[in-house]
Amino acid sequence: MARDRPGNPRGPVRLSALIALIGLLATAVVAFATWQADQNNERRLLRGQTRQAANAISGAILNIQAPLATGVEVGYATQGNQDRYTRYIAAYVGPGKTFINASLWRLDGPTPTLIAATGDAPELSLTSPTGHDFLKHAAQSKTFVVTPINVGPLQRVAYALSNAEDHTYAVYAERVIPANRRVPVESDSAFADIHFATYFGPSTDMADLQTTDLPNSSLPLTGRTARQDVAFGDKTITLVTSPAKHLGGSLEQNLPWMIVGGGVLLTAAAAGLGGQLARRRLSAEQDASTISRLYRELDLLYGKQRTIAETLQHALLPQNNPHIADLTIATRYVAGAQGVDIGGDWYSIIALDEHHFGFVVGDVSGRGIDAASLMARIRFTLRAYLVEGHPPATALEMCSRQVDILDDGHLATVIVGIADTRTRELRLANAGHPSPLLVRNGVASFIPTEAGPPLGIRDGSYTSTTSTMPAGSTLLAFTDGLVERRGEDIDEGLGRLAAYAATAGTAATSLDDLVSAVVEGMVSPDDGEDDIAILAFRWAEDRSS
């Protein structure tokens, strides 16, 4: 075999083929790793969505249990007064309401005695031994008891609950399940991105199907699925879910193909470049220009990788801020000066109702797809809990049960707040995050918060702190990349931030100018690779003053 020496025409061809082989192998490895990370992320997101859906089902079960519990307590407190009981329970019985029928029974005799009944006739004969046993079982249970009743092609669910004091009274009620078992799903509900089926008990046989959002011909759910058991009185509901779409978004879904396409193009370019360099290697006078061109190509590859990371990062952040009366909002995300991996910093602000809004600023440790995946999961989990009406400390506690550093490989610090637009009262809960900064009339000070453990340390406990912001004041929440510098105590960075914000708060004509001035004052190209997320909002001045 001839050696590749100057003048041998096969040398450049062999070099180009080697570069192409290495480039294609590297592209395949990176694309497969990205695809595998996407699959792992989809599994995590589906499990998270399933847990949220299970929480929504638990909330719906509480809405069923509450009128039963109140009804039996009314019966007990009034010693079986028919009118008082009937007036209360009538609001929950009838077409389109919680129950199709309901009745009050006294249990301290040899057999249960009917006191009052409303609605349709019950399908379960409560004067039969089976009905007696069902009511007696309720008297022995610490929670409500439940059993399905088949009515031809239809199905009802029967409930019974006795009073907690001495179990002398019990409420019995029946609820109708649609004949086709299908229930509508709201676009903004916990089920919006998934298909689901619920089954009575641990079995997933069609005979035990309760509700679903799909025709029966599409069941059982196949492919990627998740399963969650939900306590249902003295029984259990089994929730099975599958994704209705790609949960991580189209960018993450298409990223492996983008890498393949870009890798093939870059490999082709590199192979061609290698052949050209090989052909020119005998020309000593071209060495300097060849090396310069190679460095430019490497810089271009680095820049493209960094652009992909930044694009993905911005895709995971909110695209628009909500409109909230009497409030100006400004946000900023600043990518680290080094590295091409996606980071885990984020911000979020959401309108909860007419008079309240919530906000979250957080920072997942480390960088990369796993950190971004955990960031997205925590962001949407906290958003769901705030929308459900939980206060900040409770939302953090519930979220802490779903994050474990042993499973996820990362910790997360988070500041969560809920504000009242009428009083400007602010409730804050802190999971190891820097406290927000309050700016007013050229004075800046940090709002005191009680920091609990970062998310990732299981079953964290958190405390809410309450303060009232003055009219015209500004709150600045941020991640630690804004204030931390290598070799410097963090208190120095916090003091520098307060000084910049106070000065900028006097000079800036708008909230966006204030945020820009703080970023320009605090961030320099040599500050490192930590990303920065900033969320600021300013109350309108008091019009009555």
Q: How do residues 462-471 score in pLDDT, each as one tens digit?
A: 999 999 999 9
The residue among 415 and 247 whose pLDDT is bigger is 415
In angstroms, rounded to a whole number, what is the distance separating the alpha carbons of residues 363 and 372? Answer: 10
| Nearest-angstrom CA–CA distance, 13 and 174 | 80
Residue pair 194/241 in contact (Cβ under 8 Å)? The answer is yes
| Dihedral over alpha carbons 23, 27, 30, 35 (to 10 degrees) | -170
Q: What per-residue confidence (pLDDT) applies to 505?
A: 72
For residue 237, the cross-strand partners are: 200, 230
Mean pLDDT of 168-175: 94
CA of residue 253 relative to chain centroid, distance: 18
Average pLDDT score over residue span 514-542:
86
Work out the mean pLDDT of the chain and round it to a whole number.
Answer: 85
pLDDT level of residue 64 (50, 70, 90 thresholds): confident
| 403: Cβ contacts below 8 Å, ≥ 6 apart | 374, 377, 378, 412, 455, 456
Quote the percentage of the chain above a pLDDT of 70: 86
Sheet holding 235-243, edge to edge: 209-212, 194-200, 235-243, 226-232
Alpha-carbon span 336 to 222, nearest angstrom: 42
pLDDT at 301: 45
Q: Is the pLDDT higher at 429 or at 209? A: 429
- Confidence band, pLDDT 50/70/90 cuts, at residue 116: very high
3 state SS of 106: strand
Beta strands in 41-141 (DSSP E): 101-106, 113-119
Q: Given a cut of 70, is residue 340 above it in pLDDT?
A: no
Q: What is the pLDDT of residue 463?
A: 95
**pLDDT in the model for residue 20:** 85
Q: Is the pLDDT of residue 302 over 90?
A: no
Q: What is the mean pLDDT of residues 58-84?
A: 90
In this predicted structure, what is the pLDDT of residue 2? 45
Q: How confident is the model at residue 183 (pLDDT cuts 50, 70, 90)?
A: low
Is pLDDT larger for residue 191 or for residue 49? Answer: 49
Question: Comparing 474 with 50, which gets the higher pLDDT?
Answer: 474
Distance separating alpha carbons of residues 532 and 482, to the nearest angstrom: 6
| CA distance readout (Å), 472 to 45, 439, 498 | 40, 9, 18
Residue 91 pLDDT: 92
Which token pair is 348?
């979020």
Among the listed residues 415, 464, 466, 413, the one whose alpha carbon sits nearest the alpha carbon of residue 436? 415
8 Å CB contact between 408 and 372: no
**Which pTM does this prediction carry?**
0.47
